[in-house]
Amino acid sequence: MTMVPMNSAQVSRYGMVAITLHWVIAIGILMLIGMGLIMDHVSLDPMCVFQLYQLHKSIGITVLMLVCLRVGWRLTHAAPPLPDSMPVRERQMAHLAHLALYGLQVILPLSGWAMVSVSVLGIPTVLFGTVPWPDLPVLATLQNKGPVEAVLKGFHHWAAWTLAVLIILHVAAVLRHVFILRDSVSGRMLPWLASASRHKRWKN
């Protein structure tokens, strides 16, 4: 068996690290959006509300850390090339959509962190009930926090629902690749195909 190092032209799918980060972050974000819906629309007893907010903050900060890792990984590891059959306009749209998804994945948890840093209630963030998490330095010492908190709440709200819409479009695009175009794109982010194709790559 000859071992041939891969270059970006040979790689037709994402690697295991990119796939793992994509799915762990995706699950985290879907949970956070679900929690956001409950926080907004379900009346719970105050203790449950407190615990839900703490869990939301804990998962949100964890997502922020994983997204930083993911961005670093992506900047140092090229994405697999898209199929030649894909029209230029669609490639551009895909890149733009992925860029927007990355942007919101960074901005959204940052805005949440900023929001709790200026909270007039001043409730500390303790990740999963064990690790104290600091407020953002400058914001935590502001004199008049109320108006800044209101702006950040509005921003977090709109950024979250923009991300939700983008995720729906993203999933719709994937389903189009699965059921209409029937090309290789839909399988590029699936873990169980990754190991099989790595085996194939290293064999020839």
Residues in contact with ligand HEM by CB under 6 A are: 22, 26, 29-30, 32-33, 36, 39-40, 53, 56-57, 60-61, 63-64, 74, 79, 94, 98, 101-102, 105, 108-109, 112-113, 115-116, 125, 153, 156-157, 160, 163, 167, 170-171, 174, 185-186, 188-189
Smallest distance from ligand HEM to CB 3, Å = 26
Which regions of the chain does DSSP assign to beta strands (E)? 125-127, 131-133
For the bound state, the minimum distance from the C-beta of residue 102 to ligand HEM, rounded and expressed in Å, comes to 5
Which amino acid appears at position 17 of this protein? V
Residue 1 or residue 134: which is nearer to ligand HEM going by CB?
A: 134
Neighbours of 82 (CB within 10 A): 16
Q: Choose between 101 and 140: whose C-beta lies nearer to ligand HEM.
A: 101
DSSP character at residue 84? T
Residue 141 phi/psi, 5° resolution? Answer: -105, 10
Q: Which pairs count as long-range contacts for 162-171, CB under 8 Å and 24+ apart, including other chains?
A: 162/104, 163/29, 163/33, 163/101, 163/104, 163/105, 163/108, 164/33, 166/97, 166/100, 166/101, 166/104, 167/29, 167/30, 167/101, 169/97, 170/97, 170/101
Shortest distance, CB of residue 48 to ligand HEM, whole angstroms? 14
Report the alpha-carbon distance of residue 68 to residue 64 in Å, rounded. 6
> Which is closer to ligand HEM, CB of 143 or CB of 186?
186
Nearer to ligand HEM, 145 or 156 (CB): 156
Tell me the closest approach of the beta carbon of residue 68 to ligand HEM, in angstroms.
12
CB of 4 to ligand HEM, least distance (A): 23
With respect to ligand HEM, which residue has the nearer C-beta, 4 or 139?
Answer: 139
